[in-house]
Structure 1
Amino acid sequence: MKKILVGIFFFYSLISYAQSDHTKVVLSDITEKVKNNYIDKDAYKKVDSLFQNESKKGTFNNLSKKDFAAFLTQKLRATIKDEHFFVKYLENYSSENPHNEKEREKENNFHNSLENFGFENVQRLEGNVGYINFKGFATAESSAKTLAASMNFIANTNSLIIDLRENGGGDNEMLLLFCSYFFDKKTDLYTTYFRNKDKTVINSTQPKISGQKYLHKNIIILTSKKSFSAAEGLAYFLQEYKMAEVIGEKTGGAANPVDHFIIQNQYLLLLPAGEITSSISHKNWEHIGVIPDQEVEAEDALKVAHIRILKNILKAGTKTELSIPEIKNLINKLEQ
């Protein structure tokens, strides 16, 4: 019996050592990726110190791979002060499959299609006000038709509300495509510097798009603390070019675009590899967020925006389907 117990102990010790070695390799690989790719060239020192301290405390012992990834995500974000960091366990991932990347992209596009590529709701509010509830930036290629359909639907409205209160961001090309609907000609919005490539890219709107542009009209963008990344970009640039007012809460403050890396064929690592700079202000919203023109609780933002537009209609004498008394009654109703 004693020999059996010793054998069992030895067996589990081997597993523990194997897990420990595997964890060390993963942590080392992540540290190296941060060192070579993250926009702040010295951030890897904090990452290395974090991993050494947590390893000494035995924090990683007995964590499942999924929990290990979630823990790394939390700690990296807190240590580097960058909410873009993300680690995910990839179950059944195989680097030997040449179609693996395309299959994952196809699967992502399918899941995005189930959520209508982020377009939750598009409608016309009373007073001929367009409303787009947009919750995420899927790839521009997959989203283009839905975006065009949404913009075509609201093309005849006098004003537009874009609701980004639940939008966590996403694809940079989709950000540029969406912005293109509000510029009458090609405009260089910002540059992106990639430290790992020592390369600067100019990011511009598209002069021609498949849907109808929405030019020279009143636009209000709704934001919350959850508005993040590309969602912040849409609010930031339209506000900066004085094409839109922002109503709601200050946004999350994540400007820099991410790149993805596969760690030891088991984990997906997302980290910001670029730094964007506005062509107008020569700044961005990293760690700052987009500051609303009118700061209100997120839950009240839509009502406040609708009231503001209706009051502007009365002031400007804009024709809508409502009479002046009807507009005043609607304002009173919304204010109650």
Structure 2
Amino acid sequence: MMVIRKCIFLFLTLSLCNICIYSQDSVLSIEYKKEVINTLSDLMNDKYVFPDIAKKTEEYIKEQFKKGHFDQFTSNESFATALTESVQSINNDKHMKVMSQPPYEAPAMTPERLIEEKIFNLKRKKEYNAGFHNVKVLEGNVGYLDLRGFTYFKEGKVIADAYMKLIRNTDAVIIDLSKNGGGDPEMVQYLCSYFFKGDIHLNSLYFREGDRTIDFHTLDKVDGKKMIDVPLFVITSKRTFSGAEEFSYNMQTQKRATIIGQTTGGGANPGGTVPINKFLSVFIPTGKAINPITKTNWEGVGVVPEIKVGNDDSFNKAHELAKEGANQYREKLKGLYTNTFSNLLSKLEKYDEVNSEKNILVTLKDCKEKGLIEEWEINALGYQYMIEHKKLKIAVCIFKSNTILHPQSANGFDSYAEGLMKLGSYDESIKNYKKAVELAKMDNSPDLSVYQENLKKALQKK
């Protein structure tokens, strides 16, 4: 019994201590505020990207403390707001904010508090959805993406790919960043990569720690369809901040998009959140952005749109311009399709023993790379020239090209084998029928029995 009573006493003592600590949220002592200011000053001096400004900021908030400026603030929420205002009045850095913890019900450092925090974070993560708020196709075949943040790349990539897939066939795209407060530079880099071809230097981030610079270039591949020449429009507002500004600035300086809306918030210094104590934390910028074209960034000035309109008019204006852009894009594609297909048809007009096979492959490859023809369409084209136009050698060249462009297609090899069989090239035909069966087995194709039967007939015919 004595052991049990001691345990109960210890538990009650710890609980009372936690309640006392937690009660600081309603009444803040002078000593508590002094300790917060000292810790905040140390963190700024250790981490802030501009050490000289950190020192000036420290001197200012300590002077304010001595004058009693912070005496009037009796809760962590009001104290955090006051500290933020004082800090920003010196460094003019909108990234640096002192924040209070959410109003949890359970006392700090208890199992109940840990569970409450976990549930809160899970709920927030699900609702946030990696920042992807809405996606739809508007009138005029215009893709619209409402993006509220750039979450960590490892978490957000799959969702980004899924959303981009839904607008991959649109003729213009609007990305709405009017409610986007920023996020992970890697996620900015990845989404930018959807709209560029090749290696483009987008941005660099210099960090005080280690005196290092990280360059961000477009990625050669994304897990989706790139939209490298689709007209792009970006909506901004005063709330557009940090990573969302980088996306806008990248697109503006590369002349890849039209920015519509209002001048953005003006925060270009990346960093991270660190705790001051159990109740307060601070976001400290540890680096700065350096654009490869302007050699500067948008800190303090924001990204200025090419087309300035009020927040209420931004969407309608963007949609109006996007529809015009989509019409122009379709006309451009029409000309491209006409020229490309005319070139292809000219190569299929007459068989040339020396050049036809090479020329047809090059032309079909060009069509494929431009997204104008797919594997099944090449296959159908081969049968059209074999059956309707009675141009067997041209058809065999088309079938062969298809196996080179789509080396994993069992159907492609089966069709090529059929064409070779009609030409009387039995050994080569059987070789390709076997390849079709092999690929079909690897792919668990439902047409495996068809390919096996075709192989069997070819062997019998030989």
The answer on whether the counterparts of 1:191 and 1:279 sit within 8 Å (CA) in structure 2 is yes
How far the C-alpha of 1:155 sits from its partner, in A, is 0.3
Give the Cα–Cα distance (whole angstroms) in 2 for the partners of residues 112 and 279 of structure 1: 34
Match of 1:55 among 60, 65, 89: 65
Question: Partner of 1:66 in structure 2?
Answer: 77
- SS of residue paired to 1:42: helix
Structure-2 change in CA distance of 1:191 and 1:316 (3 Å): closer
Question: Is 1:39 matched up with 2:49?
Answer: yes
The question of whether the paired residues in 2 share the 8 Å contact of 1:34 and 1:43 is answered with no
Structure 1 alignment gaps of length 5 or more: 1-14, 321-336
Q: Which amino acid aligns with 2:184?
A: D
Cα 1:158/1:109, change in 2 over 3 Å: farther
**Aligned in 2, Cα 1:180/1:31: closer, same or farther, shift over 3 Å?**
same
Q: 1:88 is matched with which residue?
A: 99
Q: Could you say which residue in structure 2 is the equivalent of 1:6?
A: none
Q: Is the helix fraction higher in 1 or 2? A: 2
Displacement of 1:314 = 4.8
The CA RMSD over aligned residues, in Å, is: 2.8
Structure 2: runs of 5 or more not aligned: 1-23, 334-462
The 1:182–1:20 alpha-carbon spacing in structure 2 relative to 1, beyond 3 Å, is same
Equivalent in the alignment of 1:215: 228
Query: Do the aligned partners of 1:32 and 1:44 also contact (CA within 8 Å) in 2?
Result: no
Of stretches 159-168 and 132-141 in structure 1, the one that deviates more from structure 2 is 132-141
Give 3-state SS (helix, strand or coil) of 1:60's partner. Answer: helix
Which deviations, in whole Å up to 9, do the C-alpha atoms of 1:161-207 show, x marking residues without a partner? 01111111122222112112112234332221111321222223332
Aligned residues: 300
One of 234, 244, 259 as aligned partner of 1:246:
259
Counterpart of 2:269 (choices 256, 265, 268) is: 256
Shift of 1:74: 2.5
Shift of the 192–31 alpha-carbon distance from structure 1 to 2, 3 Å rule, reads same
State the alpha-carbon separation in 2 of the partners of residues 121 and 158 from structure 1: 18
Q: Give me the whole-angstrom Cα distance separating, in 2, the residues matched to 1:20 and 1:316.
A: 65
TM-superposed CA distance for 1:109, in Å, is: 5.9
CA distance in 2, matches of 1:196, 1:146: 32
Q: 1:191 to 1:319 in 2, by over 3 A?
A: closer
Check whether the contact 2:138–2:144 (CA below 8 A) recurs between aligned residues: yes
Confirm or deny: 8 A CA contact 1:148 1:212 kept in the other structure. Answer: no
2:193–2:219 CA contact under 8 A, matched in 1 = yes
Q: Deviations over 1:121-165 (max 9, x none)?
A: 101111111001111122222221221111100000010001111
2:91 partner letter:
I
Q: For 1:98-113, list aligned pairs within 5 A.
A: 108=121, 110-113=123-126
Look up the equivalent residue of 1:71 and give its one-letter code: A
TM-score normalized by the length of structure 1: 0.81
Deviations 1:23-66 (A, max 9, x none): 22221121122122212221123322322232123233362223
Please state how far the C-alpha of 1:111 moved relative to its aligned partner.
1.1
C-alpha deviation, 1:107, in angstroms = 5.9
Q: Which amino acid aligns with 2:92?
A: K
Is 2:205–2:290's contact at 8 Å kept on the other side of the alignment? yes
Contact 1:151–1:213 at 8 Å: present in 2 too?
no
- Shift in Å, 1:317: 5.8
* Counterparts in 2 of 1:231 and 1:40: CA distance versus 1, 3 Å: same
Give the deviation of 1:236 after TM superposition.
0.7
More strand by share: 1
Name the aligned partner's letter for residue 124 of structure 2.
Answer: H
Cα distance per residue 1:51-91 (max 9 Å; x no partner): 22321232333622232222212322233211101112347
From 258, 267, 276, give the equivalent of 2:289: 276
Given the alignment of the two structures, is residue 151 of structure 1 paired with residue 164 of structure 2, yes or no? yes
Instruction: From the superposition, tell whether residues 81 and 60 of structure 1 become closer, same or farther in structure 2 (CA, over 3 Å).
Output: same
Distance 1:93 1:87, change over 3 A: farther
Q: What fraction of aligned residue pairs are identical, expressed as a percent?
A: 33
Give the direction of change, closer, same or farther, for the CA distance of 1:269–1:316 in structure 2 (3 Å limit). closer
Q: Please give the alpha-carbon distance, in whole angstroms, between the structure 1 residues aligned to 2:332 and 2:141.
A: 9
How far apart in 1 are the matches of 2:119 and 2:256? 35
**Cα distance in 1 for residues equivalent to 2:263 and 2:45:** 31
Matches within 5 A, 1:1-336: 19-61=29-71, 63-90=74-101, 108=121, 110-314=123-327, 318=331
C-alpha contact (below 8 Å) 1:109/1:142 kept by paired residues: no
Match for 1:41: what amino acid?
A: P
Amino acid corresponding to residue 237 of structure 1 in structure 2: N
Distance 1:89 1:318 in 2: 55
**SS in structure 2 of the partner of residue 242 of structure 1:** coil
CA–CA distance in structure 2, aligned partners of residues 237 and 319 of structure 1 = 25
Distance 1:104 1:63, change over 3 A: same
Q: What SS class does the counterpart of residue 211 from structure 1 fall into?
A: coil
Compute the displacement of 1:105 (Å). 9.1
More displaced 10-residue stretch of structure 1: 18-27 or 85-94: 85-94
Which gives a bigger RCO, structure 1 or 2 (Cα 8 Å, sep 6+)? Answer: 1
The range that moved more, 241-250 or 70-79, is 70-79
Which amino acid is 1:217 matched to?
A: V
- The answer on whether the counterparts of 2:171 and 2:329 sit within 8 Å (CA) in structure 1 is no
Mapped contact 1:36–1:196 kept (Cα < 8 A): no
Tell me the residue number matched to 2:9. none
Aligned to 2:288, the other structure's residue is in SS state strand
Following TM superposition, by how much is the alpha carbon of 1:117 offset from its aligned partner in structure 2, in angstroms?
2.1
- Distance across 2 between alignment mates of 1:227 and 1:250: 8
**C-alpha distance in 2, partners of 1:43/1:105?**
36
